[in-house]
Amino acid sequence: MEQTATLLVCCPDRKGLVAALAQVLYGHGANILDADQHTDPVAGQFFQRIKFDMSELHTDRRSLETAISEVAGRFSMSWRIADGKNRFRTAIFVSKYDHCLYDLLLRQRAGELSTDFAMIISNHEDLRSVAEQFEVPFHHLPVTKETKPAQEREALSLLKTEGVDLVVLARYMQILSDDFLKAYDGQVINIHHSFLPAFMGSKPYHRAFERGVKLIGATAHYATADLDEGPIIEQDVVRCSHRDSVQDLVRKGRDLEKVVLGRAVRWHLDDRILVYDNKTVVFN
């Protein structure tokens, strides 16, 4: 039986990188199943994703990681290994909109998302019935200006207690604090209902309508302290025209939001994303 793992690396580009990584894996009995790489000639950076089988290792996992670490030291390489046996635990944050929530829950039920949903957290009660329908624990943490710090601490406590690895903001209409984002650095995915960097912030469909745009979009990105400026994972667009009302733009945009967020979450769960310089490399 295969025991898969994924190695992700990033380092300054130089000769011998691919050979060095392949040799260390081969030398320990790992069988490479898939490999993809990218070089950014402007930044001078090299990126690679290697999926491999560990079922016939000549040594143990620790010895393999030690050998990879030695290679990484020679090439000034940052790296991580994701074990295929480890299943992510994910929390979904929502407010009142249910389209992204339903889509994620259905994708997970269909086997498209390799994760367990540990909980749904909301600042409103509206979607409790959806959580109950899918048998996911629901936590109502109402947020006001006065209660926000305490409620974020409670949310973090819940996430830590349940061993949550990933937080998905599925149209959660609150801005998370810097402290919260530091606690889950690089592990918070947000869906924004515009084609960033256009129309950051609130009511992007209304502002798109006022500008008479011919394309609207949706953007999934990692949340950072800079609102709507985190590394972009995925985007998509749909055409619109002078005939479309704000409500038409919202309707079209919701379809995009579901698809774009679903892709971004799946790629994160499959360890296909590397972040650098506020950008991402996504291995498809």
Q: Which two tokens stand for residue 185?
A: 């650095």
As a whole number of angstroms, the distance between CA 262 and CA 270 comes to 12
Q: Which residue reads 């006065």 in tokens? A: 146
Query: Which parts of the chain are beta strand (E)?
Result: 4-12, 31-40, 45-53, 78-83, 88-94, 115-122, 138-140, 166-169, 188-192, 215-222, 232-239, 273-276, 279-282
Residue 34 designated active-site: no
Q: Pick the catalytic residue: 228, 244, 270, 271?
A: 228
As a whole number of angstroms, the distance between CA 162 and CA 184 comes to 14
Q: Which two tokens stand for residue 170?
A: 């599925």
- Residues annotated as part of the active site: 228
